[in-house]
């Protein structure tokens, strides 16, 4: 057994035995794409799939981190273990904020039922979304009951990350007209619930109304009532129409008000997350979403493997270097050079295989 394989084996056992150092080491290997990281993930795969993954996204300054901190504390009061993966570079979890915030966050990590990890957003082997999903897999396999993924809801890849969770919450604040702009640009569609944070500030009710209008929950001041449907959904009074076809039929995303810094509304937000989870389970959508996520993940792993093959194992870089002068001078296009590289690779394989 190679050194890497022996180490991978040890780490997999360590994660299975809930060793925190093994967990930290396994995540680092995965995050940095070190030798053997796919073997580790492969060995952990049968243990993955129990955590409820919650994506929390929103513009910078919307108070996501404070909200998450509160949510974590409430989960802990309920004796539920939680991991937080911070992909937001402006998050206090990743070091992007005031020292006071950061210290408050870090105090959480003294609790063994909490694990906080920030993703280095550069240098991920196969794209940030793929690597983040793999880090969540490790945390899931370790046994965390909730995995919260914090991203900043403006960028493409960050949205994709939040959108691949089981339940996605979009956090907005009254003063951010920007947030509403982002909404209009289609960010909305990914969210299963909307949280208007800092709702003790002026404009909160107006924002709630704007969001509800955008969701089609209300038009002007006219509510449309529909009955409760699916177990656990009693009491909700409206549904989005027309259905967006994205597998959310029957779920009307609630718009909630919180003031996380004061602890207001956070319990209700957690209840909504739990209701969404119950909804996904009772309708079979949870299984469906996970299936789609696994298919997508497999595609990304294949693409990454092919890329590694051509650029690291075979001589793609050498062929590229040999042709680059001609590309720069305009004699050769990047497309012809690319075709040569792919052809060489196939040729090589044809002989080798």
Binders of a second copy among 175-234, rule CB under 8 A?
Answer: 177-178, 181-182, 184-187
- Contact between 158 and a second copy per CB under 8 A: yes
Among 16, 143, 155, 203, binds a second copy (CB under 8 A): 155
Q: Is the CB of 102 or the CB of 230 nearer to a second copy?
A: 102
Q: What is the distance between the alpha carbons of residues 32 and 28, in angstroms, rounded to a whole number?
A: 6
Q: Please name which of 23, 15, 12, 47 lies closest in space to residue 116, comparing C-alpha atoms.
A: 23
Q: Write out the binding residues for a second copy, residues 80-99 only, by CB under 8 A.
A: 89-90, 94, 96-97
Smallest distance from the beta carbon of 290 to a second copy, in angstroms?
7
- Contact between 109 and a second copy per CB under 8 A: no
Smallest distance from the beta carbon of 156 to a second copy, in angstroms?
5
- Contact between 20 and a second copy per CB under 8 A: no
Q: Is the CB of 99 or the CB of 222 nearer to a second copy?
A: 99
169, 107 Cβ separation under 8 angstroms = no
Q: Is the CB of 237 or the CB of 287 nearer to a second copy?
A: 287
132, 87 Cβ separation under 8 angstroms = yes
Q: Is the CB of 254 or the CB of 323 nearer to a second copy?
A: 323
- Contact between 128 and a second copy per CB under 8 A: yes
Q: Is the CB of 87 or the CB of 148 nearer to a second copy?
A: 87
Among 39, 200, 264, 281, binds a second copy (CB under 8 A): 39
- Contact between 350 and a second copy per CB under 8 A: yes
Q: Which value, to the nearest 10 degrees, does the dihedral of the CA atoms of residues 85, 88, 93, 97 take? A: 180
117, 26 Cβ separation under 8 angstroms = no
- Contact between 46 and a second copy per CB under 8 A: yes
How many angstroms separate the most distant Cα atoms in the chain? 71
Q: At what angle do helices 334-352 and 316-329 cross, to 10 degrees?
A: 160
- Contact between 295 and a second copy per CB under 8 A: yes
- Contact between 50 and a second copy per CB under 8 A: no
- Contact between 237 and a second copy per CB under 8 A: no
What per-residue string of b and e applies to 189-224 under the rule 16 or more CB within 10 Å gives b? ebbbbbbbbbbeeebbeebbebbbeebebbeeeeee
Tokens for 230, please give them.
């699916």
- For 274-333, strand residue ranges (E) read none
């Amino acid at each position: 057994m190679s050194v890497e394989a022996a180490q991978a084996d040890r780490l997999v056992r360590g994660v299975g035995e809930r060793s925190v150092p093994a967990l930290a080491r396994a995540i680092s290997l995965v995050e940095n794409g070190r030798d053997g990281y796919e073997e580790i993930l492969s060995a952990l795969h049968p243990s993955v799939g129990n955590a409820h993954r919650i994506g929390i996204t929103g513009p910078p300054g919307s108070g996501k981190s404070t909200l998450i901190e509160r949510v974590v504390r409430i989960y802990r009061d309920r004796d539920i273990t939680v991991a937080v993966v911070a992909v937001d570079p402006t998050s206090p979890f990743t070091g992007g904020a005031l020292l006071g915030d950061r210290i408050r966050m870090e105090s959480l990590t003294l609790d063994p039922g909490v694990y906080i990890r920030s993703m280095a957003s550069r240098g991920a082997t196969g794209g940030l979304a793929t690597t983040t999903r793999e880090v969540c897999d490790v945390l899931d396999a370790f046994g965390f009951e909730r995995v919260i993924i914090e991203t900043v809801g403006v960028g493409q890849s960050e949205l994709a990350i939040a959108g691949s969770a089981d339940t996605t919450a979009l956090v907005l604040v009254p003063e951010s007209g920007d947030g509403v702009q982002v909404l209009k640009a289609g960010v909305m569609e990914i969210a299963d619930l909307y949280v208007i944070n800092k709702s003790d500030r002026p404009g909160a009710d107006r924002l709630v109304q704007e969001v509800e209008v955008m969701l089609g929950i209300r038009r002007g001041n006219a509510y449309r009532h529909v009955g409760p449907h699916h177990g656990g959904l009693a009491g909700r009074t409206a549904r989005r129409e027309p259905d967006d076809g994205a597998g959310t039929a029957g779920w009307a995303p609630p718009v909630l008000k919180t003031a996380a810094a004061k602890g207001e509304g956070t319990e209700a937000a957690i209840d909504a997350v739990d209701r969404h989870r119950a909804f996904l389970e009772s309708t079979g959508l949870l299984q469906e979403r996970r299936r789609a996520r696994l298919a997508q993940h497999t595609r990304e792993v294949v693409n990454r493997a092919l890329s590694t093959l051509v650029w690291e194992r075979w001589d793609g870089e050498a062929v590229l270097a040999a042709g680059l002068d001609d590309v720069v001078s305009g004699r050769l296009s990047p497309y012809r050079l690319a075709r040569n590289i792919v052809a060489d690779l196939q040729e090589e394989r044809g002989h080798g295989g």
